[in-house]
Structure 1
């Protein structure tokens, strides 16, 4: 296929509402909406009980093969010709030129919609856009110029689709940090605050991609509104994919003491505690939450917040054997052994933490994790309120005598 013939118009009926790709195995939910099997199974297995398109609660998760649509797609694929492109590279050059001009927002929106459709069609199209001269720089320029939410969302959609292509991340990074990056970050804040769910996910992923070095991480973390919005999304939204993107972004930038302290000031410890205690939190998100909590426990502000947040230590103990075990042990070790926090020690013992720590010691954990556990056992035996540490260990030893604490 030549460079001039890259895209065939795909009937919207043939596209999965989730991936926007042509469906390979169309199946229908009880709501009547049809999806590609792999995409809807991933959605349901992620803990959702709603139809992604309608957000209706599903009476059942039974998937019915849409055989008629499957046959239509098969016939279309068999008869469609790659020699009938709806968007050629020449047309694409014209579109890119137009969106960078001082055209109206409506024109920009129309041009960007065509580019998004082009990018969605295939991996080859996305590579073509990534390699197209000055396309990345031009699309970032639109981000700086535009004030319309729909245009901003389309820009993030395009960038998110091509960000994994070779060299794109570095070019976006260079375009933003060598220009009026303040303006770009204000646009990211706008989408995080008022954009659609998918746009919030895309903007958080792009923000993480921009955290390439110490200087860029510092500049991102300087935006207090940005950090506040990310933590608010963790607290106010329930979508696991959004949580995943936000947590990954926060982990990427939380590398200095001052940033960690700022995150704590915005209420991160309370939000992470809620996420860890929520039984519906995905294991991968719980692991990232624990990792972030471990990071903030290394600063004085973080340790103070963990001590003062009544639910935090109990949440760590609750997840100790389920997700992020090494980070969970690190948090408890930091609080109980290094800083001797009496309140946290009491909570750990009352939450049956001694038993779980001993079980972690017996498991195939890394040597440094086992050493932290051994020190935790010692600290909990001698550092708790009178009798409570010994009582917690005693209850365990009467049932499992083959584990001997150090």
Structure 2
């Protein structure tokens, strides 16, 4: 029996009605139709309220795992693996060898191979091991091929999104293994490149995992002032990054979005843009969330510190009634790094800007006690000096309990 004679018949019940691939995580809608979870979730996330197969209006968007079908698919897959010689006829979801990867790259354009299927093989190969990711990162022509795919995508929207999702996933997997950190940036930011438009499309319409991968790719190319400004100059990109850090989103997605914003927010015009887009209010909500992780709190405070270095950012922080109290709430409670960010922000709005609203907010939130405690802690000289500057501001305030307290001392004993 030769390879061409072998075939596997996939039961139609096992195929997702959207992708026509074997379902990995079958879930059912209220209409009784079963889909693969990632495909139907993408359909619903795009704002659709109908069943794709029947076009019936959904009375509920709840999806229920189809455990019975999942067990049947697993049994069928196991039986196929037992019957088929993997060397002669690799299973549909098998991991390709290094030689096969090289062959796919060589033939993917010249022989008009199915690019989506080829990218899926690359993803499986990269996910298999760190050694495979290093192999792809060093493979000649692989990274330029991915950038060409990002730059030149056509076809139906649903197909384009699915294709781009695979491109950003494989790009994210190999990024940390690149020997030349500027290679991807130089390829993506060539003249008239559409790569940023493709990454934005994934952020707008992709799955959560794909959005995270897209954000990481953006962060990896934001390595100098020019690239940061190019990213900020792409219409809708900063807006989408601000949208994905909303508190109701996935925690991993929020953290990735915050990391990317930290990377690109050094230029003054980007700080101003963040203030204009209402990012301060979102930062305040994230700080006020009881379930925010230490990492998210640190990143939010870092961004607030960055934005507070411009007049527009300080103004937005002072105008938001929640922001300063939320900053004080996290001071001394999260980490040493978070505390230093918090003091720097308070110094910017209370001492540098001398904003009356911010000063009153600190007083009402018992911020003076925290500043005193901080000065007695093992903080850095710069933070101790900022704390002393803050106490001087409140010392001249007739409402402050420190109206006659000398802040020049190095060891504070307020009681």
- Cα 1:123–1:392 shift into 2, 3 Å: farther
User: Quick one: distance in 2 between partners of 1:360 and 1:108?
Assistant: 58
- Cα 1:285–1:392 shift into 2, 3 Å: farther
- Normalization by structure 1: what TM-score? 0.72
Q: CA deviation at 1:102?
A: 8.8
Q: CA RMSD in A?
A: 2.7
Matched, 1:166 2:178: yes
User: Quick one: distance in 2 between partners of 1:161 and 1:237?
Assistant: 26
State which of 241, 255, 259 in structure 1 corresponds to 2:266. 255
User: Quick one: distance in 1 between partners of 2:333 and 2:153?
Assistant: 45
User: Quick one: distance in 1 between partners of 2:117 and 2:123?
Assistant: 10
Q: In 2, are the aligned partners of 1:152 and 1:187 still within 8 Å (CA)? A: yes
Q: CA deviation at 1:89?
A: 3.5
Deviations 1:9-63 (A, max 9, x none): xxxxxxxxxxxxxxxxxxxxxxxxxxxxxxxxxxxxxxxxxxxxx999xxxxxxx
User: Quick one: distance in 2 between partners of 1:393 and 1:268?
Assistant: 39
**Which has the bigger relative contact order, CA under 8 A and spacing at least 6?**
1
Aligned to 1:390, the other structure's residue is in SS state: coil
Paired position in structure 2 for 1:403: 412
Q: In 1, are the aligned partners of 2:275 and 2:307 still within 8 Å (CA)? A: yes
How many pairs were matched up? 316
Matched, 1:128 2:135: yes
Unaligned 5+ residue runs, structure 2? 1-62, 66-77, 79-85, 155-159, 406-410
Matched, 1:211 2:222: yes
Higher deviation after alignment, 314-323 or 292-301: 314-323
Paired position in structure 2 for 1:109: 116
Paired position in structure 2 for 1:361: 375
User: Quick one: distance in 2 between partners of 1:373 and 1:86?
Assistant: 57
User: Quick one: distance in 2 between partners of 1:186 and 1:226?
Assistant: 8
State which of 262, 265, 279 in structure 2 corresponds to 1:268. 279
User: Quick one: distance in 2 between partners of 1:378 and 1:170?
Assistant: 47
- Cα 1:100–1:297 shift into 2, 3 Å: farther
Paired position in structure 1 for 2:152: 145
User: Quick one: distance in 2 between partners of 1:365 and 1:319?
Assistant: 16
Aligned to 1:310, the other structure's residue is in SS state: coil
State which of 295, 312, 325 in structure 1 corresponds to 2:323. 312
Deviations 1:174-230 (A, max 9, x none): 11012533x111111111111111111111111000011111111111124110001
Matched, 1:321 2:332: yes
State which of 210, 217, 225 in structure 1 corresponds to 2:236. 225
Aligned to 1:235, the other structure's residue is in SS state: coil
Q: In 1, are the aligned partners of 2:272 and 2:312 still within 8 Å (CA)? A: yes
Paired position in structure 1 for 2:102: 93
Deviations 1:110-135 (A, max 9, x none): 11111111111111111111111110
Deviations 1:301-335 (A, max 9, x none): 10110111110111111111123111100111111
Paired position in structure 2 for 1:390: 401
User: Quick one: distance in 2 between partners of 1:100 and 1:330?
Assistant: 53
User: Quick one: distance in 2 between partners of 1:370 and 1:187?
Assistant: 46
